Structure 1
Amino acid sequence: MKSVDAHLAEILGTVRTLAPLELELERALGTTLAEEVVAPVPLPPFDNSAMDGYAVRSADVSAVPVTLPVIDDVAAGSDELRAIGPGHAVRIMTGAPMPAGADAVVPVEWTDGGTATVTISRTVQPGNAIRRAGEDVQAGQVVLQPGSVIGPTQLGIIAGVGRRRVWVRPRPRVVVLSTGAELVEPGTPLGPGQIWDSNSFTLTAAVRESGGDGYRAATVGDDPAKFLEQLDAQLVRADAIITSGGVSMGAYEPVKEALSPLGTVRFEKVAMQPGMPQGFGVVGEDQVPIFALPGNPVSSFVSFMLFVRPALRKMRGLPAGPSETVNAHVVGSVRSPAGRRSYLRGVLAGDGTVTPVHGQGSHQLAALSSANALIVIPEDITELPSGASAQVIRL
Structure 2
Amino acid sequence: MTQRLPPSLTPLDAALAALLRGIDPTRPVELPLTEAAGCVAAGAPLLAAYPQHDIAATDGWALHANELIGASAYSPLLLATAPVRVDAGDAMPAGCDCVLDIDAVEMSGPLAQVLAEGVPGQGIRRAGSDIAAGLTAGAEGHPVGPADLLLADLAAVDRLSVRRPRLRIVNVPDTATTADMIAGIARAAGTDVKSFETAARDEASVADALDASSCDLLLTIGGSGVGRHDAVVTALARRGEVIAHGLALQPGRTAAIGRVGNVPVVALPGSPDHALAAWLALVMPLIDRLSARRLRRQVTWPLARKIASSVGIAEIALLAEEHQTWMPLAVGEWPLQAMARADAWLLIPASLEGFAAGEPVDAYLMRE
TM-score by length of 1: 0.76
| Matched letter for residue 319 of structure 1 | R
Partner of 1:21: 29
State the distance in 2 between where 1:136 and 1:252 align.
59
Matched, 1:338 2:332: no
| Matched letter for residue 298 of structure 1 | D
2:79 aligned to 47, 57, 68, which one?
68
8 A contact 2:171–2:222 mirrored in 1: yes
State the distance in 1 between where 2:130 and 2:363 align.
40
Q: How does 1:59-208 map to 2 (within 5 A)?
A: 59-64=66-71, 65-71=76-82, 89-112=83-106, 116-170=110-164, 172-179=165-172, 183-184=173-174, 197-208=176-187
> Match of 2:197, SS?
coil
State the distance in 1 between where 2:346 and 2:52 align.
52
Q: How does 1:176-325 map to 2 (within 5 A)?
A: 176-179=169-172, 183-184=173-174, 197-219=176-198, 221-232=200-211, 235=212, 238-248=215-225, 252-262=229-239, 264-284=241-261, 287-320=262-295, 324=298
TM-score by length of 2: 0.80
State the distance in 1 between where 2:352 and 2:141 align.
38
Partner of 1:45: 52
Change (3 A) 1:66 1:207: same
State the distance in 2 between where 1:141 and 1:385 align.
45
Change (3 A) 1:385 1:310: closer
Partner of 2:3: none
Partner of 2:4: none
| Matched letter for residue 32 of structure 2 | E
> Match of 1:37, SS?
coil
8 A contact 2:210–2:236 mirrored in 1: no
1:293-352 deviations in Å (ceiling 9; x for gaps): 23443222101011112222232231257x846444254x65433311222445443351
Matched, 1:352 2:325: yes
> Match of 1:112, SS?
strand
8 A contact 2:25–2:291 mirrored in 1: yes
| Matched letter for residue 53 of structure 2 | F
1:360-383 deviations in Å (ceiling 9; x for gaps): 647x54554454444544424446
State the distance in 2 between where 1:164 and 1:370 align.
37
> Match of 1:247, SS?
coil
1:154-184 deviations in Å (ceiling 9; x for gaps): 22222322233333223x33232233xxx53
State the distance in 2 between where 1:115 and 1:309 align.
69
State the distance in 2 between where 1:167 and 1:385 align.
45
Partner of 1:77: none
Matched, 1:11 2:22: no
State the distance in 2 between where 1:149 and 1:335 align.
34
> Match of 2:264, SS?
strand
8 A contact 1:314–1:320 mirrored in 2: no
> For structure 1, which runs of at least 5 residues remain unmatched after alignment?
72-88, 185-195
Following superposition, the deviation at residue 122 of structure 1 comes to 1.5
Following superposition, the deviation at residue 278 of structure 1 comes to 3.5
Matched, 1:56 2:63: yes
Higher-Rg member (1/2): 1
> Match of 1:91, SS?
strand
RMSD: 3.3
Change (3 A) 1:217 1:370: same
Total equivalences in the alignment: 354
Partner of 1:379: 350
Partner of 2:5: none
8 A contact 2:236–2:258 mirrored in 1: no
State the distance in 1 between where 2:59 and 2:234 align.
71
8 A contact 2:219–2:268 mirrored in 1: yes
State the distance in 2 between where 1:24 and 1:111 align.
45
1:31 aligned to 33, 39, 52, which one?
39
8 A contact 1:70–1:90 mirrored in 2: no
Partner of 1:329: 303
| Matched letter for residue 204 of structure 2 | A
| Matched letter for residue 291 of structure 2 | R
Partner of 1:81: none
1:20-76 deviations in Å (ceiling 9; x for gaps): 122333333333333331235x322222222222222323211222122444xxxxx
8 A contact 2:247–2:256 mirrored in 1: no
1:74-112 deviations in Å (ceiling 9; x for gaps): xxxxxxxxxxxxxxx322332222333333332324233
Partner of 1:193: none
